Amino acid sequence: MQEPNPSYYWDAFPKSVKQSYNAAGARFPIRIEGQPHGAVTFQSCDPEIATVENGWIRCGTTNGSTLILATDSAYPPSVRHIQVEVYEPTQPNGYGW
Protein backbone atom coordinates (compact mmCIF):
# COMPACT_ATOMS: atom_id res chain seq x y z
CA MET A 1 0.00 0.00 0.00
CA GLN A 2 1.43 3.32 -1.05
CA GLU A 3 1.56 6.05 1.58
CA PRO A 4 -0.35 9.21 0.67
CA ASN A 5 1.18 12.57 -0.07
CA PRO A 6 2.91 14.11 3.02
CA SER A 7 0.56 17.12 2.86
CA TYR A 8 -2.37 14.72 3.31
CA TYR A 9 -4.49 15.80 6.28
CA TRP A 10 -7.83 14.82 7.68
CA ASP A 11 -9.37 14.49 11.14
CA ALA A 12 -12.64 13.59 12.86
CA PHE A 13 -14.36 15.85 15.40
CA PRO A 14 -15.40 16.10 18.18
CA LYS A 15 -12.31 14.54 19.76
CA SER A 16 -14.30 13.58 22.85
CA VAL A 17 -17.89 13.39 24.08
CA LYS A 18 -18.86 13.28 27.75
CA GLN A 19 -22.55 12.59 28.30
CA SER A 20 -24.58 11.77 31.39
CA TYR A 21 -26.73 8.66 31.30
CA ASN A 22 -30.07 9.22 29.57
CA ALA A 23 -32.61 6.46 28.92
CA ALA A 24 -33.54 8.13 25.62
CA GLY A 25 -29.89 8.45 24.56
CA ALA A 26 -28.19 11.42 22.91
CA ARG A 27 -26.80 12.15 19.45
CA PHE A 28 -23.80 14.21 18.38
CA PRO A 29 -22.76 14.98 14.77
CA ILE A 30 -19.35 13.88 13.49
CA ARG A 31 -17.46 16.45 11.42
CA ILE A 32 -14.67 15.42 9.04
CA GLU A 33 -12.08 18.09 8.28
CA GLY A 34 -9.42 17.88 5.59
CA GLN A 35 -9.32 15.51 2.64
CA PRO A 36 -9.32 11.76 3.32
CA HIS A 37 -8.48 9.78 0.17
CA GLY A 38 -11.54 7.56 0.47
CA ALA A 39 -14.77 7.25 2.40
CA VAL A 40 -14.40 7.43 6.17
CA THR A 41 -15.74 4.37 7.99
CA PHE A 42 -16.54 4.20 11.70
CA GLN A 43 -16.28 1.39 14.23
CA SER A 44 -17.04 1.47 17.94
CA CYS A 45 -14.80 -0.48 20.30
CA ASP A 46 -17.90 -1.04 22.51
CA PRO A 47 -21.23 -0.68 20.66
CA GLU A 48 -23.11 -1.05 23.97
CA ILE A 49 -21.80 2.40 24.97
CA ALA A 50 -21.72 4.25 21.62
CA THR A 51 -22.38 3.62 17.93
CA VAL A 52 -22.23 5.71 14.76
CA GLU A 53 -25.36 5.99 12.63
CA ASN A 54 -25.40 8.11 9.45
CA GLY A 55 -22.59 10.37 10.66
CA TRP A 56 -23.94 10.79 14.20
CA ILE A 57 -22.60 9.36 17.46
CA ARG A 58 -25.42 7.76 19.45
CA CYS A 59 -24.75 7.20 23.15
CA GLY A 60 -26.12 7.75 26.63
CA THR A 61 -28.06 4.59 27.41
CA THR A 62 -25.16 2.57 28.91
CA ASN A 63 -22.51 3.86 31.31
CA GLY A 64 -18.83 3.43 30.41
CA SER A 65 -16.09 4.62 28.06
CA THR A 66 -15.20 3.62 24.53
CA LEU A 67 -13.48 4.80 21.39
CA ILE A 68 -14.99 5.38 17.96
CA LEU A 69 -12.36 4.60 15.31
CA ALA A 70 -12.58 6.58 12.06
CA THR A 71 -10.65 5.00 9.18
CA ASP A 72 -9.84 6.31 5.71
CA SER A 73 -11.03 3.39 3.55
CA ALA A 74 -8.48 4.20 0.83
CA TYR A 75 -5.59 4.09 3.33
CA PRO A 76 -6.54 1.88 6.33
CA PRO A 77 -3.44 2.72 8.44
CA SER A 78 -4.84 6.27 8.64
CA VAL A 79 -7.05 6.09 11.75
CA ARG A 80 -8.49 8.84 13.95
CA HIS A 81 -10.41 8.36 17.18
CA ILE A 82 -13.21 9.94 19.18
CA GLN A 83 -13.38 9.21 22.89
CA VAL A 84 -16.87 8.71 24.34
CA GLU A 85 -17.73 8.62 28.05
CA VAL A 86 -21.20 8.06 29.47
CA TYR A 87 -21.46 8.57 33.22
CA GLU A 88 -24.12 8.24 35.89
CA PRO A 89 -25.19 11.70 37.03
CA THR A 90 -24.87 12.35 40.75
CA GLN A 91 -27.20 14.26 42.99
CA PRO A 92 -25.82 17.68 43.86
CA ASN A 93 -25.00 17.94 47.55
CA GLY A 94 -24.29 21.67 47.68
CA TYR A 95 -20.58 21.15 48.35
CA GLY A 96 -19.43 20.70 44.76
CA TRP A 97 -18.50 17.04 45.18
Residue, of 93 and 31, whose pLDDT is higher: 31
Q: How many CB atoms lie within 10 A of CB 61?
A: 16
Instruction: In whole angstroms, give the CA distance from residue 34 to residue 87.
Output: 32
Q: Please name the helix (run of DSSP H) or strand (run of DSSP E) that holds residue 65, with its range, or none.
A: strand 64-72
What is the mean predicted confidence (pLDDT) over 15-31?
95
21 by Cβ neighbours in 10 Å (0-12 / 13-18 / 19+) ranks as middle
Domain 10-87 homologous superfamily, CATH:
Immunoglobulins (2.60.40.10)
Bridge partner residues of 83 (DSSP): 16, 67
Bridge partner residues of 64 (DSSP): 86
| Residue-averaged pLDDT of the chain | 90
| Span 42-88, pLDDT tens digits | 999 999 999 999 999 999 999 999 999 999 999 999 999 999 999 98
What is the mean predicted confidence (pLDDT) over 21-50?
96
